[in-house]
Amino acid sequence: MKTLISREEIQKRIESLGKELTEYYKDKDLTVVCLLNGAMIFASDIMRAIELPLQYDTFAASSYVNTSSTGELKIRSNLKLPIENRHVLLIDDILDTGFTMKCIIEEFTRKGALSVKSCVLLNKKIKDKLFSAPDWVGFEIEDEFVVGYGLDYNEEYRNLPFIGVLDQE
């Protein structure tokens, strides 16, 4: 497996994102929502880097089966906390086409969030992105299949401390 982004590069970028998010959400009621399962590690590190009081919740939804999008959002686990009159920051591991993120932003807006922004660890450079870009991005990457730091292949490799490109074999 080839290392694409090292542990040190990830930690340095998280510190930088934490400062940006702290400044942006200063004096706002913030709820951080981790999109499970892939964003769990990234979200926990980002939350510790945000130097503000915040609420934390999780949301599980996907439009993927194996490595392809179905074009339909399936909600597996909903929010536990109310987001009405709060600013919501969605944390996700990777943005491909943006379909899942778009659907979740629409859903949370309908639930009365004051604002819904997104922060992703990885933003894939896909020629024809169908939906809007994330508000904050850890790293831009080529359209490769990556694992580690929460990202998986068949539920394996999530615990790697770096982002790697899986061998084709």
* Domains contained in the chain, CATH given: 2-165 (3.40.50.2020)
Give the pLDDT of residue 158.
Answer: 96
Give the pLDDT of residue 72.
Answer: 77
Catalytic site includes residue 128: no
Give the pLDDT of residue 142.
Answer: 94
Give the pLDDT of residue 168.
Answer: 72
Give the pLDDT of residue 126.
Answer: 85
Low-confidence ranges of the chain (pLDDT < 70): 63-71, 128-130, 169
Give the pLDDT of residue 169.
Answer: 64
pLDDT single digits (tens) 58-92:
999 876 665 556 667 788 889 999 999 999 999 99
Contacts 24+ apart (CB under 8 A), 134-143: 134/92, 134/95, 134/98, 134/101, 136/17, 136/20, 136/21, 137/95, 138/10, 138/13, 138/14, 138/17, 138/42, 139/5, 139/9, 139/13, 139/163, 141/4, 141/5
Catalytic residue among 96, 128, 135, 167: 96
Give the pLDDT of residue 75.
Answer: 86
